[in-house]
Amino acid sequence: MKHRIKKTIAAAFSVLMLSAAASCTSSVNRADNGSIENNDVFNSVSRYDGNIPTTGNAEPGGEPVSTTVTTTVTTKTTTTTTTAPPVAKGNLYDSDGDLLMFSRRDETGKEVRSSSENQGYKMAFGNILSETSGGFDCTFEDILRKDNPSAVNGDPDVGQSVQLTLDADVQSAIYQYMQNNNIVGSAVVMRNDGSILAEVSYPSYDPDLLISDPNYINTLPGGACVNKAFQNATPGSCFKIMSEVLCDKHGITSLYDDGTWTDDGSTIVNWDHDTGYYPIPERTLNAAFVNSSNIFFAKAFQQIGSQAVLDDLGNIFNFGPGYEIWCDFGSLENNIEIYCNDDLRRSAFGQSYVRTCPVYLAALGREAVFGDMVRPFVIRNIVDTNDFYSVLEPGSAPFEIIGSIPQEYRQNLLNGMNGVASNLGIYVPDGYQLYAKTGTAETGAGDYLYITGCVKNVNDNGSCIGSMSDYSDYRAAGGSYTIVMQVQNPKDHNFTFASESAYFYKGIIDIIFSY
């Protein structure tokens, strides 16, 4: 646990980095006619060219009509305005007060946005926070530019600060772990209340170096600037968490499993179709979930029908077009499109046009284990830039339930996820139990591997959060963790199936419990 003195030093550092340069506020002077320069006067003159018209312009007798030349002068008044510099953004802090981003002014008074002096934080948060990646520093701009209640180091043009729910030490440790093991992909850790504890996307970058060195971007690996945790992709068999509930709801608890099934000219196979175990005449729903049968769920979705599938996915899991989940960091917009029976069948195991992101999978994993989906969020509090402990406004509401699995279908899903976790062979600390679902997704960029799970305190009913605003007593109070790991480079590890990445998942669990 970090001490208050550490947070005070961090706040003081950010304050000192804002120079006492005077703001460029000046009064607006409106020019009067006497002060207008010659080049600001525009003349519009109707001129007489010396030729007297003779048709239709003479009185009888041939006398010419007297012609009057009219000169019109239009005066333009110019207003000169000197614009005051914008309010500099306040700070971004992690959950316990570590400084992540701050502003300073250069010698001209221009705002310069900088990230943490801690190199580990800098890289781990690069594609999560920075404006280059459309991160939180961009998303929360209006909050960060809202005037702080008091001047910061004499500068009145500094905004309020945001305390995030993320823990910088855990974030940095997971990033370093992924880097050390060459795990290209993402990891998301969520607490019971929906707060994100860690959101990691590897590889990342140094946002300060990206600005200062024009050649730096050319040295980065592909995808470094993208937040993979918030990027939609094919989820594979993690989608079967939802498929299992739909089967149970529609009374499909046993089906004939061919191992290899051809219908309408399209063939679907199970991952173990060539093992000699098939056909299985009466495969149960639980066995199909634990063994991750594609054919069972494909047949089930065909029985349920497209409209019922779409309705249930939206109503129970907020999944699909029209069921966007609006979070403080942006919207989770999942996709499923069904144009034919084959789309319907393949959607059942998270293929075809199904797309989602790891942050959503964390919310789904929480719903699978505790029965309710809560809205994910990352703003804990809005705080005074001069004093991290001075809360100006509370952040996003915790425990905001946005979807629920009907009570009668919860236990069967839990039994299935317990079975999957048992097969992974992952040890969790005493007093905890692991529930999980694996997924191997075929994407246009190659296979992606997922493990969506929850390390549940055996005494936790989903309401635990602790009493401290920095979550420092969360585990002691009996809190649980929903964890999603995505591996986008399985070939580098000679992995074919997600279950083979269980060792990496165990490493992330160990990191969480070491802090």
Burial of 329 (0-12, 13-18, 19+ CB in 10 A): buried
Residue-wise burial string across 351-387, b where 16 or more C-beta atoms lie within 10 A, e elsewhere = bbebbbbbbbbbbbbbbbbbbbbbbbbbbbbbbbbbb
Q: Please answer whether residues 206 and 176 qualify as being in contact, where contact means their C-beta atoms are separated by less than 8 angstroms.
A: no
- Tens of pLDDT, residue by residue over 188-238, are 999 999 999 999 999 999 999 998 999 999 999 999 999 999 999 999 999
How many helices (H) does the chain have, and how many strands (E)?
Answer: 15, 23
Give the closest residue to 198 by CA, choosing from 427, 474, 466, 414.
Answer: 474
C-alpha span between 175 and 191 (Å, rounded): 19
Span between the terminal Cα atoms of the chain, in Å: 8
Angle between helices 168-180 and 502-513 (to 10 degrees): 150
Residue 282 lies in a domain: yes
Please state the separation of Cα 169 from the chain's center in Å: 19
At 280 the three-state DSSP class reads strand
User: Which 3 state secondary structure label does DSSP give 399?
Assistant: coil
pLDDT at 109: 87
Ranges of residues in the chain with a pLDDT under 50 are 1-77, 80, 82
CATH of the domain at 417: 3.40.710.10
- 301: which 2 tokens? 């979705």
Provide the pLDDT for residue 202. 98
Are 229 and 201 a contacting pair, CB within 8 Å? yes
- Residue 335 belongs to some domain of the structure: yes
What's the CA gap between 21 and 273, in Å, rounded?
A: 71
Q: What whole-number distance in Å separates Cα of residue 282 and Cα of residue 243? A: 18
The pLDDT, as a whole number, for residue 79 is 52
Q: How far is CA 248 from the centre of its chain?
A: 31
Domain presence at residue 459: yes
Whether 386 is in a domain gets the answer: no
**What domain count does the chain have?**
1
Q: How far is CA 263 from the centre of its chain?
A: 39
Task: Tell me if 421 is assigned to some domain.
Answer: yes
In this structure, is residue 454 part of a structural domain?
yes
Q: Which residues contact 180 (CB under 8 A, 6 or more apart)?
A: none
Residue 272 lies in a domain: yes
Query: What is the spatial distance between Cα 253 and Cα 427, in angstroms, rounded to a whole number?
Result: 30
- What is the pLDDT, as a whole number, of residue 25? 31
Position 56 scores a pLDDT of 37
Contact predicate 165/136, CB 8 Å: no
Whether 91 is in a domain gets the answer no
Range of the domain at 279: 236-377+397-513
